[in-house]
Structure 1
Amino acid sequence: MIGVVADDTTGANDIGIMFSKSGYKVKVLTFEENMEIVRDADVVIIDTDSRLDSPNTAYDKVFKATKILQKAGCTMFYNKTCSVFRGNIGVEFDAMLDELNEDFAIISLSFPQNGRTTTNGIHKVNGKRLEDSEFFHDPVHPMIESNLESILKKQTRRNVTSIYLETVRKGPEELKKAIEKAKNDYQYVIIDGQTQEDLTIIAQAAAGFRVLAGSSALGEELPKVLPKSAFPNLASTVSIKDSNGVLIISGSLTPQTKEQTKELIESGVFSIVVDSRKILDSNYQEELDKVYNEAKLRLRDGQDVLIMAENNPIIVKETKEIGKLKGFSELIISKKISGFLAAVSKRLTDSLDLKRIVAAGGDTSGTVCRHLEIKGNYIVKEIDTGVPSGLVIDKEMLIVLKSGSFGKKDFLVKAVSHLKELTTS
């Protein structure tokens, strides 16, 4: 059994679908201390939701999650991070190695299908260096440089090195030799990759090592060089009824999600834009009641409803100014907006018994899941690269949890259609 620790909810599902579409049965679980794991899948992923935590909290969560996976009988481990290295990267890698009493991990950040490539240690997004991409503007973890080795060295006490593309393309045997050589003097080795073929070579070379880390993309190639699954295909067994419309929640302000919500609205889906300024003042409950009542009427009539955070730059700026006056950081403001969207989701789900929900944005997805008391899900089927549908564990519910920067322009339209195909009214 493979054990994965992921630092956010959408990332957990992202790597889950990579293993799943290669034939493995996968389940994603929300981290809880002293949780027990039932061995009914090839891959168990624990979502620590630690990307926005303090380094000490992130270390503690990953250390404990790794211990839980080891106790459950996992023999291979994967530390899933953001594909652009945002978050508590170094301390989370260290936490996994410390708990396992290991001192070496292979790292691959490349995700060619989503435009992430690494060449000579320099990481790019759709051809742009990290500091020239939209991730330079991340409010919590701005990416101000592109050299992965340099980024990681600032976050770990262990030694870091890189293996470049020239070596990768000599084939798996030569790459494995380079990895073994690096292991003598370094604890982390970051490996270049530009194409899916490069990832195939990395998987072949890395399959015998106990700890891997990085983006989800390598998870698609690993099952090809590991034992086959003995579990049945979950997608063929899903049977859920729901006469309500599909609820779509969007808290992400990324360009990708903006395009996706625009496309969804243009397709005819009814939208409710939340005034984020009111979330921060005394009008919170009034705004909550207004959004809830309007959405409830539509959903009950079978209409799909999008509830989204305001993405107008002027309103976003005014919201930040209000928050600043109240002493809130941008992280706190973001979490308050996610909390509002999750509270609406919870109220609607409880009153209408909703069984189909789409959430856009990593923090939004995690917050929605916590409010709905979702402890985890089985991966069902990939909708778009890195974004699957999930069957909630111990609940009759289907969810789609999307990272803000993932998915094509029509993703949300496809996600709604996909959930309808899996259910009947």
Structure 2
Amino acid sequence: MELGVIADDFTGASDIANTIAKGGLSTVQFLGLPDRPAPASCQAGVVALKSRSIPAGDAIAQSLQALDWLKEQGCRQVVFKYCSTFDSTPAGNIGQVGEALAERLGVKGVVACPAFPTTGRTIYQGHLFVGDRLLNESGMESHPLNPMTDSDLRRFLRLQTADPVGLVPWSVVRRGGAAIRKALDDAAAQGETLVIVDAVSDDDLYAIGEALDGVPLLTGGSGIALGLARNILKGGTATAGSGSFAPVSGDEMILAGSCSNATRGQVERHAARHPTLRIDVGAVMDGRLGPEDILAFAREHRGKAPLAYSSSTPAEVKAAQERHGREAVAETLDRLFAEAARRLVEGGLRRLVVAGGETSGAVVGALGLRSLAIGPEIDPGVPALSSTEKPLALALKSGNFGAPDFFEKALATLEGA
């Protein structure tokens, strides 16, 4: 294994696995901390953790275990992958995990770049934009678990770190890889462990990738991996590999737990042509709606691309959280979707689409899968996936990703259409 990734959620892991696989490396996504060696054909391994919203100490411990496993597989370069909208809170763990990994590897001047221009995430003067809006004005300020209230990544990340946070501005990035490399070295000399690096286009990410050739550690969104496979292939330590994705036909289901603007639009679009089941949070919390209701709905609408969703507006989410408690709502909905997915797959379901990072983590955990093969890209940042252990194809979508018709496209791609 040449390249390793530690991802803080399951959809983000699929996102960066997709980027690396498109770059030409045979890529496998491992679900949770692996308990066995990677297959010999694996050139890039992505360890998917569910660590984004857990206490920092737990996230650090899991991430360091993942790092040790990746090093045992021979990885010379490791990426700590988090969301391109930097989903966190002032008490979050992105900064603390990044510093812990850097300390274990004995490095400073480590890139922190969540930019993903293809989906509108860009960084300029250390500020993160979503489209033409600052992050904290993009809708992310209403995120039910990790509301983003500040677009200044240096200032925000500094709340989570022991060391000062540096910046490589776009005026340096535009001068290319050598200039970026010198700026990172200077940051390391000044004692800055994590360094925000501006990026407003894919060309910037390729220049950053050139600067990162051979460095032990980098952090960011999936875009930061754009140039990494090219570095490895150019260096001659690996040749272009092929994936082992296996399309699957059969019964299908869509589960949506994300409350993002993008997912709510996709649900509305899908509902115009397909059967949908709205999951009422109050009914779930009161025990009036459970997994058996989702199963009955799926059976009734078999073959019609049925969708069950809890996606709600920010006002509805806030009301439910105030009544039942934020963590209680999140945990109860995760258990609902996880149990429904487990029973659906046990009953013969073969194609499953899940929207939302937390929801995807809960579902995949309940299915007991160990690893996934990376298939064709459905929409930017979202690949088709297939289990390496059973006839099951999946799409795990970050809430903010995907075109309006994502759900239909995903089901078609999973069966090879």
Short-chain TM bin: over 0.9
How far apart, in 1, do the equivalents of 2:181 and 2:105 lie?
Answer: 22
What is the DSSP-based 3-state SS (H/G/I as helix, E as strand, rest coil) of the residue aligned with 1:12?
helix
How far apart, in 2, do the equivalents of 1:58 and 1:76 lie?
Answer: 20
Hey, what does 2:211 align to over in structure 1?
Answer: 205
How far apart, in 1, do the equivalents of 2:227 and 2:13 lie?
Answer: 17
* Aligned residue identity for 1:29: F
Is the alpha carbon distance of 1:51 and 1:169 closer, same or farther for their aligned partners in structure 2, counting shifts above 3 Å? same
Is 1:394 aligned with 2:389?
Answer: yes
8 Å CA contact 1:27, 1:44 repeated in 2? yes
Hey, what does 2:288 align to over in structure 1?
Answer: 283
* Aligned residue identity for 2:300: L
How far apart, in 1, do the equivalents of 2:107 and 2:36 lie?
Answer: 23
1:98-137 equivalences under 5 Å are 98-137=103-142
Alpha-carbon shift at residue 51 of structure 1 (Å): 0.4
Is 1:414 aligned with 2:409?
Answer: yes
How far apart, in 2, do the equivalents of 1:281 and 1:102 lie?
Answer: 50
Match of 1:91 among 79, 92, 96: 96
8 Å CA contact 1:248, 1:307 repeated in 2? yes
How far apart, in 1, do the equivalents of 2:130 and 2:380 lie?
Answer: 15
8 Å CA contact 2:33, 2:47 repeated in 1? no
How far apart, in 2, do the equivalents of 1:138 and 1:240 lie?
Answer: 34
Alpha-carbon shift at residue 398 of structure 1 (Å): 0.7
How far apart, in 2, do the equivalents of 1:119 and 1:198 lie?
Answer: 11
Is 1:222 aligned with 2:228?
Answer: yes
Alpha-carbon shift at residue 402 of structure 1 (Å): 0.1
What do residues 4-58 of structure 1 show as CA deviations (whole Å, max 9, x unaligned)? 0000000000001011111111111122375543342111011111001011111
Hey, what does 2:246 align to over in structure 1?
Answer: 238
Hey, what does 2:59 align to over in structure 1?
Answer: 58
Is the alpha carbon distance of 1:319 and 1:148 closer, same or farther for their aligned partners in structure 2, counting shifts above 3 Å? closer
Q: TM-score, normalised by structure 1?
A: 0.91
Hey, what does 2:268 align to over in structure 1?
Answer: 262
Unaligned runs of 5+ in 1: none
Is the alpha carbon distance of 1:77 and 1:148 closer, same or farther for their aligned partners in structure 2, counting shifts above 3 Å? same
Match of 2:327 among 322, 325, 331: 331
1:351-370 equivalences under 5 Å are 351=347, 353-370=348-365
Is the alpha carbon distance of 1:309 and 1:74 closer, same or farther for their aligned partners in structure 2, counting shifts above 3 Å? same
How far apart, in 1, do the equivalents of 2:34 and 2:10 lie?
Answer: 17
Is the alpha carbon distance of 1:397 and 1:280 closer, same or farther for their aligned partners in structure 2, counting shifts above 3 Å? same
How far apart, in 2, do the equivalents of 1:278 and 1:297 lie?
Answer: 21
How far apart, in 1, do the equivalents of 2:249 and 2:131 lie?
Answer: 40
Is the alpha carbon distance of 1:13 and 1:160 closer, same or farther for their aligned partners in structure 2, counting shifts above 3 Å? same
How far apart, in 1, do the equivalents of 2:118 and 2:161 lie?
Answer: 29
What do residues 359-409 of structure 1 show as CA deviations (whole Å, max 9, x unaligned)? 000011111101111222111111111000111121221110000011121
Alpha-carbon shift at residue 202 of structure 1 (Å): 0.9
Alpha-carbon shift at residue 225 of structure 1 (Å): 2.5
Hey, what does 2:180 align to over in structure 1?
Answer: 175
How far apart, in 2, do the equivalents of 1:275 and 1:197 lie?
Answer: 45
**Identity of aligned pairs, percent?**
27
Alpha-carbon shift at residue 143 of structure 1 (Å): 1.3
How far apart, in 2, do the equivalents of 1:167 and 1:231 lie?
Answer: 32
Is the alpha carbon distance of 1:112 and 1:354 closer, same or farther for their aligned partners in structure 2, counting shifts above 3 Å? same
Task: State the number of aligned residues.
Answer: 408
Is the alpha carbon distance of 1:150 and 1:344 closer, same or farther for their aligned partners in structure 2, counting shifts above 3 Å? same
Is the alpha carbon distance of 1:180 and 1:100 closer, same or farther for their aligned partners in structure 2, counting shifts above 3 Å? closer
How far apart, in 2, do the equivalents of 1:116 and 1:310 lie?
Answer: 23
How far apart, in 2, do the equivalents of 1:162 and 1:232 lie?
Answer: 35
Hey, what does 1:11 align to over in structure 2?
Answer: 12
Is 1:296 aligned with 2:291?
Answer: no
Alpha-carbon shift at residue 190 of structure 1 (Å): 1.5
Is the alpha carbon distance of 1:31 and 1:313 closer, same or farther for their aligned partners in structure 2, counting shifts above 3 Å? closer
What is the DSSP-based 3-state SS (H/G/I as helix, E as strand, rest coil) of the residue aligned with 1:399?
strand
8 Å CA contact 1:176, 1:206 repeated in 2? yes
What is the DSSP-based 3-state SS (H/G/I as helix, E as strand, rest coil) of the residue aligned with 2:378?
strand
Alpha-carbon shift at residue 162 of structure 1 (Å): 0.4
What is the DSSP-based 3-state SS (H/G/I as helix, E as strand, rest coil) of the residue aligned with 2:57?
helix
How far apart, in 2, do the equivalents of 1:294 and 1:44 lie?
Answer: 37
8 Å CA contact 2:143, 2:260 repeated in 1? no
How far apart, in 2, do the equivalents of 1:368 and 1:53 lie?
Answer: 17
Hey, what does 1:77 align to over in structure 2?
Answer: 78
* Aligned residue identity for 2:292: D
Hey, what does 1:349 align to over in structure 2?
Answer: 345
What is the DSSP-based 3-state SS (H/G/I as helix, E as strand, rest coil) of the residue aligned with 2:183?
helix
How far apart, in 2, do the equivalents of 1:23 and 1:55 lie?
Answer: 34
8 Å CA contact 1:112, 1:194 repeated in 2? yes
How far apart, in 2, do the equivalents of 1:211 and 1:44 lie?
Answer: 15
Q: TM-score, normalised by structure 2?
A: 0.92
Unaligned runs of 5+ in 2: none
What is the DSSP-based 3-state SS (H/G/I as helix, E as strand, rest coil) of the residue aligned with 2:227?
helix
Is the alpha carbon distance of 1:153 and 1:312 closer, same or farther for their aligned partners in structure 2, counting shifts above 3 Å? closer
8 Å CA contact 1:33, 1:64 repeated in 2? no
Is the alpha carbon distance of 1:140 and 1:388 closer, same or farther for their aligned partners in structure 2, counting shifts above 3 Å? same
How far apart, in 2, do the equivalents of 1:155 and 1:170 lie?
Answer: 30
RMSD (CA atoms) = 2.0
